[in-house]
Amino acid sequence: MNPDQFQAALAEKGIILSERQMEQYEIYYKTLVEWNEKMNLTAITEKEDVFLKHFYDSVSAAFYFDFKEKPFAICDVGAGAGFPSIPLKIAFPKLQITIVDSLNKRITFLEHLARVLQLENTHFIHDRAETFGQNSVYREKYEIVMARAVARMSVLSELCLPIVQVGGTFIAMKGAQADEELQGGKKALKVLGGELKGIHSFTLPVEESERNILIISKEKKTPKQYPRKAGTPNKSPIE
């Protein structure tokens, strides 16, 4: 998917990108490839692949959730090189983005990226999701929490739901295994105060691979003991 195809494909979904926004995606791509030579940010470096599998794939969350409604405060857990929140921020500039990532060098990259893209209202925090979720400054403070390809649902729910405010939304971006993960993650969702509101399936253009966007509402407060200490959710998920 070249940049023109990317712009046209999003326009078909009602997401109209300006010249400046397209320029920002170009800068993002160049910065990603340049920094990827110094540190491992992504295995995907071909331009058409980055525009499809990173940029388009990230913005696809907006096909099923209205990010234009208001300047939502969003936390992106384990965003790596900025996916999905930075492509979404470019498309919807009013969003307020916080990224939490456990690797400091990725935070350094993201801070540089935000400067070169001239993004406002972006915050980058070096922390484990487990300790971040127990911090009263951030706990249950975000209207939307997002994650893409971080962990299976039983684990991911424990990393994300504690920082979603009651009445807010957790958006999990998944591949073909979403249904299977949901079966294993049902108990975790219930225990942590979440309720599945919708699962939206579509096929990524060109390569025809399955994608699923899970929309989960935060119905009640997360019990204080969650998230448990770093590493525990992965070793012994709520199942």
Number of residues written out for the chain: 239
**Buried b / exposed e across 51-77, counting CB within 10 Å, b at 16+?**
bbbbbbbbbbbbeebebeeeebbbbbb
Alpha-helical (H) ranges within 47-199 are 47-49, 57-59, 85-91, 104-117, 129-134, 153-160, 178-192
d(C-alpha 159, C-alpha 129), whole Å = 6
Mean pLDDT of the chain: 95
Determine if residue 129 is labeled as part of a ligand binding site.
yes
Reduced to 3 states (helix: H, G, I; strand: E, B; else coil), residue 218 is strand
> What's the average model confidence in pLDDT over 124-146?
96
| Strand-pair category, 122-126 with 164-174 | unpaired
> What's the average model confidence in pLDDT over 141-156?
91
Determine if residue 228 is labeled as part of a ligand binding site.
no
Determine if residue 78 is labeled as part of a ligand binding site.
yes
Domains located in the chain, CATH noted: 60-235 (3.40.50.150)
Burial of 19 (0-12, 13-18, 19+ CB in 10 A): exposed
| Strand-pair category, 164-174 with 210-218 | antiparallel
> What's the average model confidence in pLDDT over 1-7?
97
At 208 the pLDDT is 87
pTM of the complete model: 0.95
Q: How many CB atoms lie within 10 A of CB 14?
A: 9
- Which is nearest to 58 in space by CA: 148, 150, 164, 121? 148
Report angle CA 128, 133, 134 to the nearest 5 degrees.
105
Determine if residue 167 is labeled as part of a ligand binding site.
no
Burial of 126 (0-12, 13-18, 19+ CB in 10 A): middle
Q: What pLDDT, in 10s, does the model give residues 22-58?
A: 999 999 999 999 999 999 898 999 999 999 999 999 9
At 191 the pLDDT is 96
Determine if residue 72 is labeled as part of a ligand binding site.
no
Q: What pLDDT, in 10s, does the model give residues 168-203?
A: 999 999 988 888 888 889 999 999 999 999 999 999
Q: What pLDDT, in 10s, does the model give residues 97-122?
A: 999 999 999 999 999 999 999 999 99
| Cβ pair 211, 58 in contact under 8 A | no
